[in-house]
Amino acid sequence: MAIYRAMKKARDDRDFEAMSAFMHDDCVFVRHQSGTTVTWDEFKVDFKVMMENGGFDRLMDRCIYENEDILVEHAIMRFGDGTRESVILVQTLENGQVVRFETGASRMD
C-alpha cells in the first residue's frame, strides 16, 4: 500500500505539489456521476483550490486494494456546501503514477 499511503499523506497535508507528482501527464479523470471526462491539465486548477482551501474533507478513507496496476479506495467525503458522499475511487496506475482516475459517488442524507 505504498502509493495509497503516500497519496493519503499528501491529501492529509493538503500538499498539492506532492499530490501532483502522482498524476501522469496524460491522466484523465472520469466522473461517473456526471458522465464527464477531463484531463489532469483541465482538472488540476480546481483540485488545487479544493485541496488548499478546504473544498472537501475526507471523514473516512481506506484502501480496498492496491497493486502496481490499480488502486481502489473508499471514502466518505464532506464538501464545502455541507453535503456528504460515499465515494469509490478507482485509479489505474502506470509506473507509480495515476493514468486514469474514476469516481462513483452516492449522496448521504
pLDDT for residue 3: 94
Confidence of residue 68 (pLDDT cuts 50, 70, 90): very high
Q: Is the pLDDT of residue 52 over 90?
A: no
45: cell is 486548477
Owner of C-alpha cell 491529501: 11
Average pLDDT, the chain: 91
Of the candidates 53, 54, 73, which has an alpha carbon nearest to the alpha carbon of residue 8?
Answer: 73
Question: What does the H/E/C string look like for the chain?
Answer: CHHHHHHHHHHHCCCHHHHHCCEEEEEEEEECCCCEEEEHHHHHHHHHHHHHHCCEEEEEEEEEEECCCEEEEEEEEEECCCCEEEEEEEEEEECCEEEEEEEEEEEEC
- Condensed to tens digits (0 to 9), the pLDDT of residues 21-42 reads 999 999 999 988 788 899 999 9
User: What does the pLDDT read at residue 88?
Assistant: 95
The pLDDT of residue 31: 83
pLDDT at 58: 87
Looking at residue 49, what is its pLDDT? 84
pLDDT at position 17 = 94
Order the strands of the 23-31 sheet from edge to edge.
36-39, 23-31, 97-108, 84-94, 70-79, 56-66
Q: For residue 101, count other CB atoms closer than 10 A to its CB.
A: 21
pLDDT of residue 28: 96
